[in-house]
Amino acid sequence: MTAATAPGTAVTAPAGPGTAVSVAAAPGPVVSVPVSGSVWRQQVGIADVRAAAERLAPVGVLTPLQHSPRLSERTGATVYLKREDLQVVRSYKIRGAYNFIAGLSAESLAAGVVCASAGNHGQGVAWSCRHLGVRGAVFLPRRTPRQKVARIRSLAGELVEVRFAGDSFDDANAAAAAYAAERGATVVPTFDHPATVAGQGTIALEVLEQLGRAPDVMTVPIGGGGLASGIAVALDGLGAPTEVVGAQPAGAPAMMRSLEAGHRVTIDIEDPFVDGAVVRTPGALTFDVVRELVPRLVAVAEGRVCTELLDLYQIDGIVAEPAGALALAALDDVAAEIVGRTVVCILSGGNNDVARYDEIIERSLVHEGLKHYFVIGFPQRPGALRRFLDECLGPTDDIVLFEYIKKNDREFGPALVGIELATRTDLEPLLARIAASGLDVQRLPPDSPMARLLV
C-alpha cells in the first residue's frame, strides 16, 4: 500500500501515444513510465461524447459557465466556473449515469440496475431510474454524508433501494457487484466505463460552445478519473489545444500514485474528507486516458479545499462540496503558468451537509496558520494560568480551547490549549513569548495524530 501525497506534489504526463509519462513526485526522482498504445481509443471517442450529448439533451443537463471575478483577480488569469453544482442532482454525475442507463436494452432495464457511490453517482442513478421508470439499488459507504443519503431517497422515491456497505467506496463497490450477480441487475459504473466517460465528456462540448473557443487550461477534480477522462477525450477529439490539469485530494491520490508506478495501484486512504474524490484504485480505462491525455496532476491539501469552500460561500454565495471546490483550490498549484490565460474550473458538485461547516472552518484555520494547539504543563499553584495569559498571549491572540485536569499527586498538570491568531505572522512572536516564559510547552504539529483528532 502507498501513502498520501504531499500537497503541491505534481505529476506530469506529456500526451502522445507511445511517449513516456514523466512523474515528478516531490521529494524524489523523476520516473519515466512507458505508455503502451492508445487501446482506450477503441473504446471511447468524440463520436461517443456527441452521441451522449444528443441522449442527454432532452433531460436538460446544460449548466452555466460563469466568470469568477474573485479567482480572476487572485490569479491574474481569466477564470470561469462550470457550474455543475446547479444540476438537478447538484453534481455532474447525472451525465454519465443517465447516458449509461438510457443506453441499456429493454431486457437489461427490466432486470434493474445497481451502483456503488460516495453519494453523487447514487443521486444521478436514482434520478435516472425515476425518469426512466427503472428499479435499482444504490450501495453507499457508511461514511456518506446524511445530506447525500437523504437526497438519494428523495430523488428515487420507491424505485431505488438504498443500502450501506463498509467504510469506503471500494467496500460499497464490492457489495454492489455481489448484488448484481445475485439479482441479475446491471452495474452502473461510477467512472470506469465508456458510456460513463462519454457522458461526463459532454461538459467539454458545452464549455467550448459557451466560451466560443477552447480555453487555455481546464482544472478538473479526479477521484476514479471518469470526469477528467471524459473531458480529455472530448478535447482531444475536437483537436482543442487545452491543457487539462487534474486535481486530487492529498489524502487520497490514487491516480497520481498509479501514474508513478506505471500501472494501477491500490492505496490506503489517509484522509477521506474530500469524499466525492476518494477512491482506493482508479479505473482501468480512465487510467489509460489520464496517462496519455492529462498532462499534469496536483495534490491539493484538504485544508486549502476548506478555505476555498468558505470563500465560495462567503464571497460568491455558492454552496459547494469538498470535491466540488477541488479544481478551484488547485489554481494555487498552477498560479505561475496561468497568468494572462483563460482557465475553466469544473465546480463539480454542491452536495454539502451544513453539519460539516464546523469542521470546514477548523481545517481552514489550521491550514491558513491561524489556529494552533499546545500541551502546556501548568504548575499546580494559584496564578499559573494568569501568568500564561499575561506573559504569553498577544493582544489579539484568542484561547478557543482549554482542557485541564488537576492531578493532586503531581506538581504539574497538563492542559490542552487551542489558540486562534489574527494573522499567521502572529505565530512567531507567540512562540518566542512561550519560550521565554519557561513553561513546559509542547506544540502539536498540524499533521500529528492528536491534532487530527481535534480537527
Do 46 and 192 touch, CB atoms closer than 8 A? no
DSSP state of 42: G
Cell numbers representing residue 137 in the block = 439499488
What are the distances in angstroms from CA 345 to CA 72, 166, 219, 374, 375?
Answer: 11, 32, 5, 38, 41
Rounded to a whole number of angstroms, the CA Rg of the chain reads: 24
Task: Determine which one of 148, 348, 364, 371 is catalytic.
Answer: 348
Task: Determine which one of 68, 82, 93, 364 is catalytic.
Answer: 93
What are the distances in angstroms from CA 401 to CA 353, 370, 429?
Answer: 25, 14, 20
CB burial of residue 100 (10 Å; 0-12, 13-18, 19+): buried
Do 296 and 245 touch, CB atoms closer than 8 A? yes
Annotation marks residue 348 as catalytic: yes
* Distant-in-sequence, close-in-space partners of 381: CB < 8 Å, separation ≥ 6: none
Question: Nearest to residue 218, comparing CAs of 56, 93, 321, 77?
Answer: 77
Do 244 and 293 touch, CB atoms closer than 8 A? yes
Do 112 and 137 touch, CB atoms closer than 8 A? yes
Over 224-262, what HEC string results? Answer: CCHHHHHHHHHHHHHCCCCEEEEEEECCCCHHHHHHHHC
How far apart are alpha carbons 256 and 262 in whole angstroms? 10
Q: Sign (positive/negative) of CA torsion 87, 92, 93, 94? A: positive
Edge-to-edge order in the sheet of strand 136-140: 160-164, 136-140, 113-116, 186-187
Q: Would you name the residues annotated as active-site residues?
A: 93, 348
